Amino acid sequence: KQEVTQIPAALSVPEGENLVLNCSFTDSAIYNLQWFRQDPGKGLTSLLLIQSSQREQTSGRLNASLDKSSGRSTLYIAASQPGDSATYLCASDSSYKLIFGSGTRLLVRP
């Protein structure tokens, strides 16, 4: 059974700092790995999707990497801004089902 873990659970950084969020999964037989953003009381916004054959994906200040062999993915946020404050979730897709981590709550202080 796939288990997805995210570290740290919470993170507070000053504006402008580069940061890394970590995601690990137990079953490397995944189709893809996705990162989402969730604002309080709201739905999810898909940030990046990395196919199993890919190593990374980039979108603006976001870069996500995937290492299937070690069961790890990272989300790198460059030059963080207060507007980046949210909960970031990673999810693995093993059989057309997403298994979510518990998320990292990020606070970017002005």
Partner 1 sequence: GAVVSQHPSRVICKSGTSVKIECRSLDFQATTMFWYRQFPKQSLMLMATSNEGSKATYEQGVEKDKFLINHASLTLSTLTVTSAHPEDSSFYICSASRDYNEKLFFGSGTQLSVL
Q: Is 73 in the site for partner 1 (CB under 8 A)?
A: no
**How many angstroms separate the CA atoms of 66 and 54, rounded?**
7
Q: Is 101 in the site for partner 1 (CB under 8 A)?
A: yes
**How many angstroms separate the CA atoms of 75 and 110, rounded?**
21
Pick the closer one to partner 1 by CB: 14 or 53.
Answer: 53
Radius of gyration of the chain (CA): 13
Q: Nearest Cα to 60, choosing from 44, 77, 45, 75?
A: 77
Q: Is 60 in the site for partner 1 (CB under 8 A)?
A: no
Q: Is 100 in the site for partner 1 (CB under 8 A)?
A: yes
Contact set with partner 1 (CB under 8 A): 4, 31-32, 34, 36, 41-46, 49, 51, 89, 91, 93, 96-103
